Structure 1
Amino acid sequence: MVITTIWAAIIALGIFMYVALDGFDLGIGIIFPFFPDEGERDMMMHTIAPVWDGNETWLVLGGAALLAVFPAVYSIVLSALYLPIIFMLICLIFRGVSFEIRGKATRTKNLWNLSFVGGSAGAAFFQGMILGAYLHGIPTTNGVFSGDPFFWVTPFGFLAGMGLMITYALLGCGFLVLKTSGDLQSRMHDLIGPLTLVLLGFIAAVSIWTPLTDPHIAARWFESPFRYRLYPVPALVLIVAALMYRAVKRRSDGMPFILALTLVLLGYIGLLVSIWPYAIPNTITLADAAAPRSSQVFTLVGAVIIIPIITAYTTAGYWVFRGKVEPGARYE
């Protein structure tokens, strides 16, 4: 069980790193329509052009690790959520193509702007739909998905999709505050406050909806010994939101992005504590879904080698392209 727990932690880390890193560049696409000036749009895209594709490495790591270590979960999740996963990947493809073509296009530039916006917003929304379906449980019979192909289309899934879009938009604004200056940075500061308030509203809605509709999560939050570890989370969320207001008022460069990441981390911790020790909520535990110990040990050796490499080149990319992006600057 120790190795299984280590692998669960590795997969959880990979998902968080993806949300934190790819989240802000998806967020930039989501807020793109609010900034119609093409020069400003160019600056926004140049802030993420050197790093956006490397950010998605963490998603690949999480998916590959899930297949290797929890094959039963991989089989059920892929069967149940095949359609939203395909829709998400299509959106990511259109978004990726827009990065390569938009900067060189002239007559079709608006089309590629639309591709960037739609791909970013669509990918974020379907990721939220996937999260909503996962949290409410995937119907299975004898370890096989047994639900309707569209079981994931629910009001809660829609709420989760919109909530994740707002989360990514806030991360995108925070990153642009860090990477830009002048009038563009000032307007990003102005956008962070409303986005934070909207995000708090979504957090409150999900926090109320989830225990009311899922008795297992309600028991975990209000009856189990874990509840004492969850109680500080809402207070910390409010503290971080207050610090965000202060950082925006002071026109801080880096603090809004750090605080946005902190909000994401707090929500993620609450999610993990709520579903532990299940691999699929209320259906399959981590222990039941795990591959044989020999397989886990073998793949863990590879993870010990590859994760530091991914971390090193991700860190190097951000270090090389650190600093502000000035008007007229380009990344080729």
Structure 2
Amino acid sequence: MEISFDLTVAWALLLAFAVYVYVVLDGFDLGIGILYPAFPRKEDRDLMMNTVAPVWDGNETWLVLGGGGLFAAFPLAYAIIMPALYPPIIAMLLALVFRGVAFEFRWRAGNRFSEKFWDWAFIGGSTVAAMAQGIALGALLQGIEVDGRAYGGGWWDWLTPFTLTCGLAVVFGYGLLGACWLNWRTEGYVRKHSRNIARILGFVTVGFIGIVSLWTPFLEAAYFERWYSWPQMLQVAPVPILVVLFILFLGKELYNESNDWMPFVLTLGLFLLCFIGLGVCMWPYVIPTSVTMYDAASPFKSQLFMFVGAIILVPIILGYTAFAYYVFRGKIKPGEGYH
């Protein structure tokens, strides 16, 4: 029983890791699409797209790992979550497909009208995908109605003020990631304008973090007890304290012109702390507060068989991802690219 317990926890942590890696890797290239309207010149948009051209499609590997891993390791959770979140998940997948097509077709546009069309497809796909991800996260956090071993709610249960707020928070957060990435990887006007945008989006993102953080404990009594009851609040206090520290450091670095990479790293850290806060709320539930990860887990032999493959493949994926980023490191100048 102890081995099975450990394996279930290991799968939960592995899936959480996959989702976080997806958020930070695909987040900044979705952010670039979200920021496109702020850069109307073709040369600037070409430069922005070239910063992610070698790596953007590999980033989505982690989304496949997260979804496939949920289906394999926690099939009951998958069977309940998918019907509850069909609209935002379908919207996200269609947006990612449309965005991917736009990414490739934009380079082969034969005229200005066609290029504008694919630019807006890239903007729309990036924004809708980010919004849908935030809505899905908010819907999971606010709770899904469960009837026995199936989804017991309605088609529109995912659509609430809280989920829309979470969706906007993710859109602005991804925009901040994209701006910090461009500040790190570009020069000249794009770098300068990106840093100015990052300062604005930093304030907006912090505001949304505050709103969602204050709102979440009132969604479920278990959340409130975990964050505000004594002495449990002492155990979770380091998370909000570190969030405040990271916000202060990020604000300082966004006005420090000598360090281009630090704002991006601090933003990743801020996202990690928010992710940990989400884990504090949900643990040990995979569907708060109805289904625990133990209730939803697949049989031990199934988890073991898949986990052996995962511990072999995940380091390989991390290795080739790190190698790709290493090969295409450094700043990209206007007129340069990999397409």
Give the TM-score range, shorter chain.
Answer: over 0.9
* Aligned residue in 2 for 1:91: 95
Report the alpha carbon displacement of residue 223 of structure 1 after superposing the two structures with TM: 2.1
Say whether 1:290 aligns with 2:297: yes
Other-structure match for 1:137: 143
Structure 2 match to 1:54: 58
Unaligned runs of 5+ in 2: none
* TM-score under structure 2 length normalisation: 0.96
Structure 1 spans left out of the alignment, 5+ residues: none
1:127 and 2:133 correspond: yes
Q: What SS does the corresponding residue of 2:336 show, helix, strand or coil? A: coil
State the TM-score, normalized to the length of structure 1. Answer: 0.98
What's the C-alpha RMSD, in Å, of the aligned pairs? 1.1
Q: Do the aligned partners of residues 243 and 220 (structure 1) sit closer, same or farther apart at CA in structure 2, a change above 3 Å counting?
A: same
Change (3 A) 1:224 1:59: farther
Q: What does residue 206 of structure 1 align with?
A: 212
Task: Give 3-state SS (helix, strand or coil) of 1:50's partner.
Answer: coil
Greater CA deviation, 67-76 or 179-188?
179-188
Q: Deviations over 1:40-70 (max 9, x none)?
A: 0000000001100000000100111111110
Partners of 2:272 and 2:230 lie apart in 1 by 22
Shift of 1:226: 4.2
Secondary structure class of the residue paired with 1:48: coil
Q: 2:190 aligns with which of 170, 184, 191?
A: 184
Q: Which moved more, 1:103-112 or 1:88-97?
A: 103-112
Aligned residue for 1:175, secondary structure, equals helix
**Offset, 1:11:** 0.2
Contact 1:181/1:326, CA 8 A, preserved across alignment: yes
Summarize the alignment of residues 1-332 of structure 1 with structure 2, pairs less than 5 Å apart. Answer: 1-105=5-109, 106-107=111-112, 108-223=114-229, 226-251=232-257, 252-332=259-339
Q: Secondary structure at the match of 1:279?
A: strand
Residue by residue, what CA displacement relative to the aligned partner does 1:208-234 show, whole Å, maximum 9, x if unpaired? 211223212101111265422321222
Percent identity over the alignment is: 46
CA contact (8 A) 1:84 1:126 kept: yes
Q: Equivalent residue of 1:103, what SS?
A: helix
1:190 deviation in Å?
1.1
C-alpha displacement at 1:150, in angstroms? 1.1
Shift of 1:174: 0.9
Matches of 1:19 and 1:301, distance apart in 2: 25
Between 175-184 and 232-241, report the one with greater CA deviation.
232-241
